[in-house]
Structure 1
Amino acid sequence: MAGPLRQLSDHGVSIWLDHLSRERLTGDGLATAIRDQEVVGVTTNPSIFHQAIAGGTTAYDDDLRDLALRGVTAEEAVRTLTTADVRAAADLLRPVYQRTDGHDGRISLEVDPRFAHDTEATLAEARHLWWTVDRPNLLIKIPATPAGLPAISAAIAEGISVNVTLIFSIDRYRAVADAYLTGLEAALDDGRDLSTIESVASFFVSRMDTEVDPRLEKIGSARALELRGEAGLANARLAFRAHEEIVRSPRWQALRAAGANVQRMLWTSTSTKNPAYPDTLYVGGLVTPGTVNTLPPQTLGAVADHGDVPTETVRGNYEHAARVLAGLAELGIDYDEVVQLLEDQGVRAFEEAWASLLESVEASLDRLPRASKTR
């Protein structure tokens, strides 16, 4: 009998690992995950790289020594280290990429989070990372902020595959889908092969419950307490309903006929933050074909060990999901305020992780010998 990870894959959910480090690359961690745990992609973010590089490891010491001798800045060093890891992961995933005709076997690398509110800088960074990594199975992560949306369209128009991140609301997801279609239309007008362009829309799940549950507990009524742990799944399911509406539209159908790939929904923030909830809640609750679920290592292990994987848990739950969000509104919880707060927190958290990583690398470079410069 197939294990839970295989069942999840058989149900049409692509499993991507939400983690990357030098140890995972130089050991057999990523290779084993690909071979034995149904992993067909990898995602990274500034927090993951901060943990990997500044977390007390010695795996980067030789590279840091060389970078110090070259007299590079901390920013150049960080980009050198992160793009090297992403390039190595892309090469490990290349057989999956080829086997799946480019839909999976993908590795994501995020633009500098300090550019989240700067369209032109985000696009410039996307171009630079795309050129630097130079792998066809790369996805450039661009945040779904108002400034990020036109950068997404422009990157897609130039043939850069994009993972749109930090999506918390259904309306923002619709705007992301529109940005993708706009980019595809521009690429088509420019004569590009649309079949070479891929995109995923990363919709954050568990953080919704992390923010909403304390508000429900403060209200304290029986109805409020019943809704704990429901908002994250309901929000994601209704976003998928919006996705289905978009792919039925004449606009998308025309692009599909021209060879375009659908922008898949990717469930992220899928680790359970509340220990009272099942540790596989946001995996088993979001099973539907044609989606991606990106799992941190502990959640991947939990699913492998004791995951319950139904065949479908999204499409049949739209009415219940709508009742959940309606119930929150009736209790006075402002959906728009919650999702905007989550976006602001997400951008700030990645900015802080990136700043901490730069500080740590700069301190490491300062402790190492520098080359003497002679004329």
Structure 2
Amino acid sequence: MESLGVVVNPIAGMGGRVGLKGTDGKLEEARELGAEPRAPDRAREALAALHRRKPDLTVYTAAGVLGENAVREAGYEPIVVYEPTRGDETDAAQSDAADSAYPNAPADAETTAADTRGAVRAFLEHEVELVCFVGGDGTAVDVASVLEGAETPMLGVPAGVKIYSSVFAVTPADAGRIVAEFDRVTAREVNDIDEAAYREGEVRTELKAVVPVPVAPDIQSGKQVASGSVDALAAGVAREIDPERTYVFGPGGTVGAIESELGIEPSPLGVDVWRDGEILAKDASESEILEVLEEPVTIVVSPIGGQGFIFGRGNHQISPAVIDRTDEIEIVASGEKLDGIDALRVDTDDPAVDERLRGWTQVRTGRFTTRLVKVI
């Protein structure tokens, strides 16, 4: 491959650690809660991994925060083929907030869906061989809306809160390696969910497109919903609860069943903190979790079905800082869910924490049963 198009959604994922479960329509609230951009750093990480392997690659991109900054910082001299344009008043309000969140933006930069689509159209005009985007499912939908029906493949660098599509590399570094080394593509699904319903605890997924994606072992699967009862598992965990421990309960139906067993009304897609019969924080952000943590601490999480992520997808509130305050992590999953997962995965934004979490670990599958699974 000789040419690549790169577009970055610089506000993707900002709502995660502050508990907003997404940034659509919530950017200003996320910033007021102290959210920090994560997509630019993840873009640089992916592009730096690519530059080590293919330093002479021709990289087309959009101006400023939409790609140019990250491409330059990774060591490339980009060809800027798209300049952001001033959109309607609604888009402009969100874009101005995004500019101040990432101050290296040019004065007229905007981070709208229209700009993402415009950049991808410009890439097609220059006949790039692959479009690499940085964002979440919403960004994937925008990219796919231009590419669907074309032969140009796409690859996502995961940066959003919601990563339900099967067009993303597992980590930013994996994305850089895949771009440098892939030699064939396959059809993959782009899915998105209704963020308003998601914030209310309901997952409504919709297939948006089917697009060509590089074939590689480090492309994540689409999320699948596991079926089957987890009552025995929940009863087993609840039976062994230590009243002198603080428990951080992650999102998902399996962990929610444990909370219900303890008499807690769970936040299905949020994080709850509990100790000795008392809810210390409900549907909590990272800062709210850290504020109430009292050692010793146990994190209870369940992997995403079909993908295997235990940290870094849908539970950004359980951040590296939270993990560092924890002395025990309990992973729970039904045997049926584990049967559809080749390994467990982590992507916390902190390489040292990721490395510490890797290796073989016990996953609780029932009242008394466990299974040994590798975290990679």
TM-score category of the 2 structures, normalised to the smaller one: 0.3 to 0.5
Higher relative contact order (CA 8 A, sep 6+): 1
Question: Whose strand proportion is higher, 1 or 2?
Answer: 2
Q: How high is the TM-score relative to the length of structure 2?
A: 0.32
Question: Whose helix proportion is higher, 1 or 2?
Answer: 1
Q: How high is the TM-score relative to the length of structure 1?
A: 0.32
